[in-house]
Structure 1
Amino acid sequence: MAIPVESFFLPQGAAGTLQQRIRQMVSEGILSGRFRAGDRMPSSRGLALHLGVSRITVTLAYTELVSSDYLTARGRSGYYVSEGVPVQPAFQPVARREERVDWAAVTGGRFSRQPRLERPEDWRSYPYPFIYGQADASLFDHQNWRLCAVQALGRRDFETLTADYYEQDDPMLIEYILRNILPRRGISARPSEVLVTMGAQNALWLAAQVLLRPGQAVALENPCYPAFRGMVAQTGARIMAVDVDADGLPPEALPAGVDVVFLTASHHCPTNATMPLARRNALLKAASERGFIVVEDDYEFEMSFLRPVSPSLKSLDSEGRVVHAGSFSKSIFPGLRLGWLVGSEGFIREARALRGQVLRHPPGHMQRTAAYFLSLGHYDALVNRMKMAFRKRRMAMDEAIGANGLTVAGQGGFGGSSFWMEAPEGVDTEALALRLRGEGVLIEPGRVFFAPEAERRNFYRLAYSSIAPARIGEGIARIARAIG
């Protein structure tokens, strides 16, 4: 039968070109079962007139649909829905009935109840977003990333794009990590000692699952990256909070009987303190004498722009006691979800097997795109551009904070992308954050960074990675007025 031209309409405000929207409109009609195999499509002239577009636009859309086997061209007879299109099942979905499962009781809320940082989904609409970890579109190299992605989609890289690596990784990305990323941190490693992960979060989770068992003792910095506690809690290990000072975690404060230590040595999260070399050596000496393992989160290593970087803990490790986790999420963009683990071969073997059971490997196309972006020099150019921009923003933040009388609890001396702030006693920064949203300002309350038994509610974090420099002064002034 012929499909009436009135069956077609283009929704207002839909994304994509006219040609893409026409293809989507036709394919959705076929996949939903409204248009059936053998049905005759409206003529290109008739559909163009009905939709108010040019005939060539409809003709090109029809041609693409023929190449995708949604439509069949029959000479002068016109276009027909292909005989090979998917057929909708004859049965109907079961109507939704009353929910009778108490999922809170079934799951125990073990994961959803873990404290975590939260920000509004529409954070970009706020004029003063002092939030951490988001990419700044004005700094990102869109053009070269797009070119690398297209190159990775080419025929030459077809195997990389489509193959199941099982438990392996893209050799091109591994080679670049070995030759360029790790040496900057003083680390020398073999391919069998490196694993590509879905960002640093996934790397740290893998480390926790491999290293920890119920009843073991784990030392975490206090305050610390909130996800550390959630990852460790999943293993059943006992958490020991160790207060940090201006130089990060003090090795002499580690409790007796600790089995694993998680820490951020390059820039402590959230205070940005950089652990001095003498303290790093003291920590490794204690690990050797007491037999514990160290998991080093390479937090914001690339953002050391005030002083020369310090060697990583892994680079100083002579006994294989350090597991090193890093990520491209902050230096390229968070949505990339690519990171790495470096450790002794025996550890990486276990982490690789666990990753294989959960997600096989990160997507091949993303690995190869990142490999091209890194190997062609675009990554280093991006990092340098970010460092220069962050240095200027940091100076603007420092000036505005001083001018408005706010108190800095920790800003670090090597760089980073945020300030750790302290409000007067009695100020609840979660309530403060809600009030500030009404003035277009976003801050990150600090309570979730602290261990539950040592909770502090008057701390907050101000990041400058996503805010325009011209808005920093007014944003800080609004925070100061709200604190009073």
Structure 2
Amino acid sequence: MKTLKNQRQQSVTDVTWRRLFSALNKDGQALNLQIRRMIVNAIETGVLSRNTRLPSTRQLAALLGIARNTVTTAYQLLADEGFLISKERSGIFVAAVGAAPVVNQPPSASFDQWQARFAIQPSAQRQICKPRDWLDYPYPFLFGQYDPALFPTNNWREAVRAASSVREIQGWAGDMIDDDDPDLVEQLRSQVLPRRGIFAGAGEIIVTIGSQQALSMLVQLLVSRRTAAGIEDPGYPDVRNMVSLATSNIVCLNLDRQGVIPDANFARSNVAFLTVSHQCPTTSVMPLERRKMLLQAARVDDVLIVEDDYEADLSIESDGDIPSLKSLDSDGRVIYVGSFSKVLAPGLRVGYIVAPRPVIDELRVLRRLMLRHPPTNNQRALANFIALGHYRQHLKRTGTVMLERARIISECLPHLLPSCRVTRGEGATSFWIEGPKDFDARRMMEAARQAGILVEAGDIFFSDPAHGRRLFRLGFGSIAANRIEAGLSRLAPFVEPSRPTVAPSVPRRAVASLHPTLSAP
């Protein structure tokens, strides 16, 4: 009878501990770290109180199906940090800790109470919306998302370790005030920017938290209520929203297949925000002659240009890249924005601005008022990553993968979407697609999402959504090559209902034969 009672008590205890560690992910973070975090959280929130006895290392390891050494390491570190205490011949117990703070939840205020106090209301603008759980979808044809399979994990770890020595930490752990990591600035000057034909002085670069912060700071610095700000139409929605918060004097710049047209609209802009290398979202690559015409027009009409070169480093399809607009600028009127988000990982949040020194000096003060400087540990790790040759190697590998994905899509689309007009500029990681007459891309996007397929409706890129009703963007940076054909075959019926749901077999051409632009009647 006593044995049965003990078994019941043990069963109840096991249920309790299983619940406490239910979120343990054997494919995620190191297991001993997860165990420590869960125990600390349970102690801090009062779930585990003082003198609560924990299972033995053997019991918990068996309960969770993990190695006993993992649990032993977690317990030992928690004991070293004062969260647990070992009592001889008794076991492991929760040590004395401070009582959990009592939280009094204030009454929630209504939106109407706050609305009158807002100086601006960004949430009222049209926003790009992508599912947070996009990795769980089988066919994510999304642009600009992080592909875990392509991240250079081992090389990045080496770069982080190199930045984690005592001497290195002493170099970056202090308050930089408004400065940047000198190693990263030097790597930008010597290895990254020359790829785009840009040679910058040390005082002509500032590091930012991604290109998003770079663009936001430039809008704050250059756009007043009276400034005529030129934006591409269609164009990057976040730039349109940033500019519209700063001024109502917005000039929608006209585009053709070569990008922005240096016409009267461009001439009346004080500053123009442009995506020249791959126009967002059409992917058009502005040819060299148009770039020279644009710079000449900017000189005559005194227009400042912000060049957002968001994914240029991935282009490996041409024998020689067309020089960036900044590299052709002899007047110092082009401000260059770059980022590692599209080519390495968005979560890294490292971008940069190249501009004449007076501009950088003002941006440095502005950035200090906002956040002082981006985390220097990330800057130093990235500097090591570039200096060790890992960045160049990563670009080569990723570019080859992207080219293969583009090739598969370019071969499938004429068969699966024959009524669509398809465009992809050389080196771009997305296709811009115009559907047949009476096609509604947003309705298609919502229906396809229910079937596990993610694409982006094109109306969000236009100042007038009606102009983008038939258009959508098909990205391939986040979908594996072996899922592309199946995904497109399932997408086809949502675009052209008369099409079959199974993709026909398409020929495999050599990579070198990939044509950057496809077109169908």
Q: TM-score, with normalisation over the residues of structure 1?
A: 0.90
Query: Is 1:180 equivalent to 2:188 in the alignment?
Result: no
Task: Specify every segment of 5 or more residues in structure 1 that has no aligned partner in the other structure, as ranges.
Answer: none
Unaligned runs of 5+ in 2: 1-8, 497-521
Which of 195, 201, 219 is residue 190 of structure 1 equivalent to?
Answer: 201
Deviations 1:14-66 (A, max 9, x none): 235664454334423432346667x4856857975996888765543332123
Structure 2 distance, partners of 1:28, 1:144, is 32
Map 1:381-396 to 2 at 5 A.
381-396=393-408
Name 1:433's counterpart in structure 2.
Answer: 445
Q: Which residue of 2 aligns with 1:452?
A: 464
Distance 1:86-1:358 versus aligned 2 partners, 3 A rule = farther
Q: In 2, Cα distance between the equivalents of 1:118 and 1:410?
A: 23
- Asked if 1:154 is matched to 2:162, the reply is no
Aligned ranges 1:318-397 → 2 under 5 Å? 318-397=330-409
Deviation sequence 1:328-378 (CA, Å, 0-9, x none)? 001101111111000011101111111111122111221111111111111
Look up the match of 2:211.
Answer: 200
Letter in 2 for 1:61: A
1:99 pairs with 2:99: no
Helix, strand or coil for the counterpart of 1:165?
coil
CA deviation digits over 1:252-274, x for unaligned, max 9? 34344310011011111111111
Match of 2:256 in 1: 245
Hey, what does 2:512 align to over in structure 1?
Answer: none
Structure 2 residue 423 is matched with structure 1 residue 410 = yes
Q: Deviations over 1:166-195 (max 9, x none)?
A: 111111111100111111111111121101
Q: Distance in 1 between matches of 2:358 and 2:30?
A: 52
Letter in 1 for 2:82: D
What do residues 432-467 of structure 1 show as CA deviations (whole Å, max 9, x unaligned)? 111112332211100011112873211111111122
Alpha-carbon distance in structure 1 between the residues aligned to 2:219 and 2:409: 36
* C-alpha deviation, 1:305, in angstroms: 2.2
CA 286–47 in structure 1, closer or farther in 2 if over 3 Å, else same: same
**TM-score of the superposed pair, with normalisation by structure 2:** 0.84
- Contact 2:24 / 2:35 at 8 angstroms: preserved in 1? no
CA contact (8 A) 1:406 1:480 kept: no
Q: How do residues 225-240 of structure 1 correspond to structure 2 at under 5 angstroms?
A: 225-240=236-251
Q: Secondary structure at the match of 2:322?
A: coil
Report the equivalent of 2:488: 476
Point out the more displaced range, 73-82 or 132-141.
73-82
- Equivalent residues of 1:260, 1:295 under 8 A apart: yes
Q: Are 1:60 and 2:60 matched, yes or no? A: no
Question: 2:227 maps to what in 1?
Answer: 216
Q: For 2:241 and 2:409, how far apart are their aligned partners in 1? A: 32
Separation of aligned partners in 1, 2:172 and 2:56: 36
Q: Give the structure 2 partner of residue 9 of structure 1.
A: 17
Q: Once the two structures are aligned, what percentage of the paired residues are identical?
A: 37
Aligned runs of 1:33-44 on 2, under 5 Å? 33=46, 39=51, 44=56
Q: CA deviation at 1:312?
A: 1.1
- The DSSP-based 3-state class of the residue aligned with 1:402 is helix
- Aligned CA RMSD, in angstroms, stands at 2.8
Q: Residues 476 and 25 from structure 1, CA distance in 2 versus in 1: closer, same or farther, beyond 3 angstroms? A: closer
SS in 2 for 1:107: coil
Match of 2:150 among 119, 127, 139: 139
Whole-Å Cα distance in 2 between the matches of residues 108 and 390 of structure 1?
43
Q: In 1, distance between residues paired with 2:325 and 2:353?
A: 14
Which of 255, 270, 292 is equivalent to 2:281?
270
What CA deviation, in whole Å up to 9, does each residue of 1:116-141 have, x standing for no partner?
Answer: 22222222222222110112222221
Please point out which of 46, 65, 69 is paired with 2:82: 69
Q: Determine helix, strand or coil for the equivalent of 2:207.
A: strand
Deviating more after overlay: 275-284 vs 56-65: 56-65
In the TM superposition, residue 306 of structure 1 has moved relative to its aligned partner by 2.1
CA distance in 2, matches of 1:251, 1:300: 23
The residue type paired with residue 333 of structure 1 is A
Aligned positions, number: 476
**1:258 match: secondary structure:** coil
State how far apart, in whole Å, the 1-side matches of 2:420 and 2:68 are: 65
* C-alpha distance in 2 between matches for 1:462 and 1:285: 34
> What CA distance in whole angstroms lies between the structure 2 residues aligned with 1:243 and 1:349?
33
- CA distance in 1 between counterparts of 2:487 and 2:253 reads 33
- 1:173-221 CA-partner distances (Å, limit 9, x unpaired): 1110011111111111112110111111111111111111002101111
The residue type paired with residue 422 of structure 1 is E
Whole-Å separation in 2 of the counterparts to 1:50 and 1:318: 69
* Aligned-partner Cα distance in 1 for 2:111–2:276: 45
